[in-house]
């Protein structure tokens, strides 16, 4: 679970710039150990992106067809460098491929807006300069600053990258945008398409035979999928907020479907019905418009009927962990191409930010990880700041320059683990979890902490178990609609609505059983996975348990650091895939989440459950406290299948039973201040 830089890499980071690496290649600039900005190299990477490029212009062909082995035609945009007269440069260059389902018409609109002569510059300037930190508009400007963080260059058309000597290829996934066929949602045929697109690109006269893949979200996932097939031409991957476990991250976290999935599926299904203006005339002339329409009619709302049927009846296998998902999860440990992964602690795919890095079977440096303290839609916000990592477009360029062009620019000595420590600052180090933490166990007790009178119950987190038996009742409510859970499930959209949706959980805590430590006397790091073991009971035959772990400031502000949930019937553990600390404590619970592994939930009988919490990295400042909040639900972050809802009897009573013989406790990796 912990990866270290090898000694030669660690030493190489601090040699003077006049010396050379063991390869004999010159290296200009040095990277101070632990510098998240990249030091002198980071400045140089940024100057290369923001300065004069090799070519002044680009030529964009938005009407390219690529025929797959089964005859289905995918549509693509090819962007090539051009001279000042707009003439295409004939020199072959490395190609960077983006494949996504969001319709190239939308990507074209973003590209044309951001490069409009006056509007584009104004938008970039506003994104960099507007900062409402500390005001009611803080969340809104966090979202708008995403533009200046460079993620849209990774997601869509990156003209600057092409002008520096690359070709970019943006492809509509089959069954979406202008591509023909049926959308398969990351399925096996779609993965084969990615490999065939790579093969097609390498055969073109404008490609030098070397390929990289990049993307944000869906296109990051299919980049990882393509890399696990090990195509010879694929030399590097730059994946922003990808995923390697669709089930546990977003589809059925803790055995409960997420409200995000039906909203997202509906959006993509609507976008796939929008014709691309760049292709309409040609498609009408060639008859492709009719074939496109027929394919859309055959699958007008891909997967939505099965999702609805599964939610209403629990009879569709895709509402459980199923081989359907096994076919779609990237096999990360097969990837050999150098891979740069970017994530966020409260991203939809929060577990994958660190999970992908952990499972990549290559030395640090060839793999890199950056994790910020944000969500899905605000990735890159704040990047490029004084103490922050370089912008994402800067990192992408440096990554591909190194692995596609062989430039010795020092990017492999960056990081390799760069994290925005919640409650702290950006750091760069050698491992995750970070050094200085050890397994720690904190018990939930009924004694008041005198810090959470607003909660259903104000209890304590202690190094010793409860002395007597207590039964604490909690019921479902709707306060999760105004919480960080809500912002996470909306991919960050509700961040603009105020502090209750991001920075202060006290409104949601009114429906919680709360357990809080004494204030720490020194800065105390928390890093890695954690698990909450609970002894619970319910008056019904199903129960939903949602949990957050919070940092509580001296003024009472309660900030969620991580979260998790579990339905009681899904409590069965796959011990072979669970993670344990050196002392045998369970750190990361892997539940089966399958139909055949569901367990009965007897009424009014205490059961042991382990709630897996998203790995995180944080620091409790002196005077701060750690808090565990236990809820009977958190809508709409965690939904309940209708059959399970019937078993749960709606307004059920759930109980947390604090029993010294069966203690409820939090196991985490923490510094001395919590031991």
* Secondary structure (DSSP) of 319-347: GSS-HHHHTTS--GGG--S-EEEEEETTS
Residue 21 confidence (pLDDT) = 33
- Give the DSSP letter of residue 294: H
Residue 280 confidence (pLDDT) = 87
**3-state per-residue secondary structure call for 640-661:** CCHHHHHHHCCCCCEEEEEECC
The token pair that represents 673 in the structure block: 């201040």
Residue 380 confidence (pLDDT) = 96
Q: How many residues does the chain have?
A: 675
Strand 367-372 versus strand 339-344 pairing type: parallel
Q: How many CA atoms lie within 13 A of 598 on its CB side?
A: 20
Residue 318 confidence (pLDDT) = 87
CATH of domain 39-429: 3.40.50.1820
What averages of pLDDT result for each successive group of 10 residues across the chain (675 residues)?
34 29 36 81 97 97 97 98 97 98 96 92 89 86 93 96 98 98 97 98 98 98 98 98 94 92 96 92 90 96 94 91 94 98 96 94 97 96 95 98 97 96 96 94 97 98 93 95 96 93 96 98 97 96 96 98 97 96 93 95 96 97 98 94 86 89 97 92
Residue 353 confidence (pLDDT) = 86
* Secondary structure (DSSP) of 24-37: --B--S---TT-TT
Residue 587 confidence (pLDDT) = 96
As a whole number of angstroms, the distance between CA 403 and CA 163 comes to: 18
Residue 651 confidence (pLDDT) = 61
Q: What share of the chain is helix, strand, coil (3-state, %, to 5)?
A: 30, 25, 45
Cα separations in angstroms, 62 against 107, 136, 633: 11, 42, 47
The secondary structure element, H or E, covering residue 393 is helix 392-405
Q: What is the dihedral of CA 488, 492, 495, 499, to 10 degrees?
A: 30
- Determine if the pTM surpasses 0.85: yes
Q: Where are the domains of the chain?
A: 39-429, 438-670
Residue 301 confidence (pLDDT) = 97
> Prior bond to 416 cis, omega within 30?
yes
| Angle, alpha carbons 534-372-368 (nearest 5°) | 105
As a whole number of angstroms, the distance between CA 91 and CA 89 comes to: 6
At the fourth CATH level, which superfamily is domain 438-670?
Galactose-binding domain-like (2.60.120.260)
Residue 361 confidence (pLDDT) = 97
The token pair that represents 173 in the structure block: 């996934």
Domain 39-429 shares a fold with domain 438-670:
no
- Name residue 234's beta-bridge partners: 211
Residue 172 confidence (pLDDT) = 98
The secondary structure element, H or E, covering residue 627 is strand 625-631
Strand 367-372 versus strand 417-420 pairing type: parallel
């Amino acid at each position: 679970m912990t990866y270290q830089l090898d000694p030669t890499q660690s030493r190489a980071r601090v040699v003077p710039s006049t010396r050379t690496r063991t390869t004999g290649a010159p290296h200009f600039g040095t990277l101070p150990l632990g510098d998240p900005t990249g030091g002198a190299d980071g400045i140089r990477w940024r100057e290369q992106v923001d300065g004069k490029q090799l070519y002044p212009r680009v030529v964009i062909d938005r009407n390219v067809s690529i025929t797959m082995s089964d005859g289905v035609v995918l549509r693509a945009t090819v962007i090539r460098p051009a001279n000042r007269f707009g003439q295409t440069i004939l020199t072959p260059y490395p190609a960077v491929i983006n494949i996504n389902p969001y319709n190239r018409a939308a990507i074209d609109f973003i590209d044309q807006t951001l490069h409009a002569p006056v509007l584009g510059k104004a938008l970039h300037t506003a994104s960099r300069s507007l900062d409402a930190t500390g005001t009611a508009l803080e969340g809104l400007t966090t979202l708008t600053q995403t533009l200046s963080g460079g993620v849209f260059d990774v997601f869509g058309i990156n003209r600057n990258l092409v002008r520096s000597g690359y070709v970019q290829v943006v492809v509509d996934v089959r069954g979406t945008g202008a591509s023909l066929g049926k959308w398969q949602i990351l399925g096996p045929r779609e993965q084969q398409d990615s490999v065939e697109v790579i093969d097609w690109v390498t055969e073109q006269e404008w490609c030098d035979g070397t390929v990289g893949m990049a993307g944000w979200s869906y296109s990051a996932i299919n980049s990882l999928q393509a890399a696990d097939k090990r195509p010879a031409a694929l030399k590097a991957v730059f994946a922003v907020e990808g995923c390697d476990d669709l089930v546990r991250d977003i589809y059925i976290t803790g055995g409960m479907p997420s409200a995000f999935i039906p909203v997202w599926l509906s959006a993509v299904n609507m976008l796939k019905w929008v014709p691309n203006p760049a292709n309409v005339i040609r498609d009408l002339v060639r008859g492709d418009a009719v074939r496109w329409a027929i394919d859309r009619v055959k699958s007008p709302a891909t997967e939505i009927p099965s999702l609805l049927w599964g939610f209403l009846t629990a009879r569709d296998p895709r509402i459980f962990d199923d081989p359907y998902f096994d076919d779609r999860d990237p096999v990360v440990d097969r990837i050999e191409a150098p891979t740069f992964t970017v994530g966020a602690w409260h991203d939809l795919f929060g577990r994958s930010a660190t999970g992908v890095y952990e499972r990549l079977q290559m030395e640090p440096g060839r793999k890199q990880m950056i994790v910020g303290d944000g969500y899905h839609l605000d990735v890159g916000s704040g990047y490029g700041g004084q103490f922050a990592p370089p912008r994402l477009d800067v990192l992408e360029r440096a990554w591909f320059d190194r692995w596609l062009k062989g430039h010795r620019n020092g990017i492999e000595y960056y990081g390799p683990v760069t994290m925005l420590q919640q409650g702290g600052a950006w750091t760069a180090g050698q491992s995750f979890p970070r050094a200085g933490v050890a397994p720690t166990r904190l018990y939930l007790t009924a004694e008041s902490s005198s810090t959470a009178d607003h909660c259903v119950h104000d209890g304590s987190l202690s190094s010793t178990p409860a002395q007597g038996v207590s039964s604490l009742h909690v019921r479902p409510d709707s306060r999760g609609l105004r919480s960080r859970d809500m912002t996470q499930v909306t991919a960050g959209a509700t961040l603009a609505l105020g502090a209750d949706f991001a920075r202060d959980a006290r409104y949601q805590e009114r429906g919680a059983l709360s357990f809080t430590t004494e204030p720490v006397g020194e800065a105390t790091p928390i890093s890695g996975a954690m698990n909450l073991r609970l002894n619970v009971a319910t008056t019904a035959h199903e129960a939903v348990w949602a949990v957050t772990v919070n940092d509580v400031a001296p003024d009472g502000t309660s900030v969620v650091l991580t979260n998790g949930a579990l339905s009681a019937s899904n409590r069965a553990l796959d011990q072979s895939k669970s993670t344990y600390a050196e002392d045998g404590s369970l750190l990361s619970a892997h539940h089966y989440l399958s139909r055949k592994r569901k367990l009965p939930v007897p009424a009014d009988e205490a059961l042991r459950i382990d709630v897996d919490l998203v790995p995180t990295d944080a620091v409790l400042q002196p005077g701060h406290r750690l808090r565990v909040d236990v809820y009977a639900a958190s809508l709409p972050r965690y939904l309940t299948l209708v059959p399970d809802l019937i078993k749960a009897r709606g307004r059920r009573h759930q109980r947390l039973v604090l029993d010294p013989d069966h203690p409820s406790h939090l196991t985490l990796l923490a510094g001395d201040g919590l031991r």
